[in-house]
Chain A
């Protein structure tokens, strides 16, 4: 099977850059992941993952099944299942009580420290709103509960009032009435709005979203995506947005990391990565997702082969058993080429882009 074409003519443009006025100190890291590795038994699930999200940044994490993107999110939240053994460092920095920065080293913290962090410094929105909400509690009560647990409001009454406010701000019509509804009385999009309200209730420093709109209708998706972006912008919070949908990432994020086989294979600004991908997998992914592009012999561009089972990725370059450009060199893990964990790629035979033409 052939790989995607070399020459792509995308118009120039892009997302507005992160706001950093000249006289303020550089934005703080809200999440800093270094050398994260997770194994189960002897099977490696995540290897050498480096990731940074700063206040006000919107970072996308792209990958398919088995790439490890959801595991990375769970690792940051300290929600990995017990039989998985993580190593490395994950530091989440939020605003503790009194406005003082509170850093949590997630892999070492006990359950008490993690419980204080979750819902306060970092919050998560999952894919299935129905299972994220308690079916036996009214939604207003669930939003209020998030605040009372972390004592971010004075008392239960204040929490209830603020809950109604939040439900109104996420766009639920007649918020006071909606607060008294049970989850099953709301539509999928409305439930996801409730989940977003719960996630943003305590003004977290970092919002993690794992495929938050995949289960929603496309018209609802557009509105919920906008809701999420405005929500983090208003709080100057960081956003880690995980999905397999390239177009969604391009609409929402400024920076992106591409994961495959438990490793980060490429990273950089969205425009760069999507118009001039360097790693062969990234290029294959972009080609395969473009339904308007056809191969000369007909059909969509595909990546040959299929994703190996968990822990069965090849040694060395994780992509080499599916790559048309793999050579003996690829039997060793390709070094990271780039200015840092936020921009670069790990490929021995990267795509070469010339100005105005392909190779």
Chain B
């Protein structure tokens, strides 16, 4: 058993957009521009980035649901990046996903017991009701839930069902794609506690993707900050959050509203000013190399400005 659960090297993913003209091919979208990192066994690895940074694409590639254009992905020591679907069965037993949308990720026409048992059925197991009840109990739901349909549950309960499904084949790695972003605050706390307890109890490796740095800070021990298809900073969560080195990380930290700070006078105006200041720093920075706090390799292409970044500060009130 290797110490490294997931190993990603120089992964590139390009998409071609549909043609808009008859003569020229569609433009190329560089969703991932050479991403490299390792996730050790038992680690809680966070990936933070805003929309369009490529984190969802990266997740799909790690989960074997998409192929990279180039680069290598190894899960449990086995290279998965060029394998056809039928050779990926072993991956499905080891690595499972929890999705963001609690309603969309459950088939509305299936009963909960069939939803949870699906990964087991896919592997050929027949009589799964015992395991389903065990899983429902582990996520804090009543056994009666097995006979119901997804729409009869609240968002938080549906996420629990999603988690139960992910745990069904007893995976070693849990990959969560914004699992609490669509949930209310009080529900979020419950689901985060549940995830924490399960990851601990089952000694899972966790990859947690979010746009919310404070959630990642609570959940993870290591974080990679992504922007425009690249990892711009990576390291222990405390370091990255308290002293962000890369300008984009600084922007993320600056822009997040925090309750205590807001009560102390950090108004919307201050929030905006700090965000713009961090952004100005990033455009002025002479060196925009990716920052990493350990020895892992990383590419160092400069981050091109996003459409939002070219918005000049408004001169006066609208």
| B263–A218 touching, CB < 8 Å | no
- How many A-B contacts are there with CB distance less than 8 Å? 179
Stretch from B1-9, B76-84, B93-101, B189-197 forming part of the interface with A: B189-197
Known: A64-B186, A234-B317, A302-B193. A229 touches B269 (CB 8 A): yes
| A64–B257 touching, CB < 8 Å | no
**With the chains together, A290 CA to B310 CA distance in Å?**
33
Consensus secondary structure, chain A interface: helix
| A171–B211 touching, CB < 8 Å | no
B73 to chain A, nearest CB (A): 27
How many residues on the A side are at the interface (Cβ–Cβ under 8 A)? 65
Counting chain A CB atoms within 10 Å of each CB, which of B217, B258, B267, B275 scores highest? B267
- The one of A172, A219, A229 in contact with B50, judged by C-beta atoms closer than 8 angstroms, is A219
| A229–B318 touching, CB < 8 Å | no
A247 to chain B, nearest CB (A): 4
| B314–A11 touching, CB < 8 Å | no
Nearest residue (CB) in B for A234 is B317
**With the chains together, A196 CA to B268 CA distance in Å?**
16
| A306–B154 touching, CB < 8 Å | yes
A residues 184-201 touching B (CB-CB < 8 Å): 187-190, 196-197, 200
Is A225 on the interface with B (CB-CB < 8 A)? yes
Is B308 on the interface with A (CB-CB < 8 A)? yes
Q: Contacts of A218 on B, CB cut-off 8 Å?
A: 50, 211-213, 252, 255-256
Q: Contacts of B263 on A, CB cut-off 8 Å?
A: 10-11, 13-14, 250, 270-271, 274-275
Q: Contacts of B211 on A, CB cut-off 8 Å?
A: 217-218
| A230–B269 touching, CB < 8 Å | yes
| B50–A217 touching, CB < 8 Å | yes
| B318–A196 touching, CB < 8 Å | yes
| B154–A291 touching, CB < 8 Å | no
- The one of B187, B213, B264, B310 in contact with A11, judged by C-beta atoms closer than 8 angstroms, is B264
Q: Contacts of A95 on B, CB cut-off 8 Å?
A: none
Q: Contacts of A65 on B, CB cut-off 8 Å?
A: 154-155, 184
Is A47 on the interface with B (CB-CB < 8 A)? no
| A219–B193 touching, CB < 8 Å | no
A75 to chain B, nearest CB (A): 21
| A247–B257 touching, CB < 8 Å | yes
Stretch from A22-30, A109-117, A281-289, A337-345 forming part of the interface with B: A281-289
Which 3 pairs, one residue from A and one from B, show the smallest C-beta to C-beta distance? Answer: A226-B272, A250-B262, A234-B317
Q: Contacts of A303 on B, CB cut-off 8 Å?
A: 186, 189
| B186–A251 touching, CB < 8 Å | no
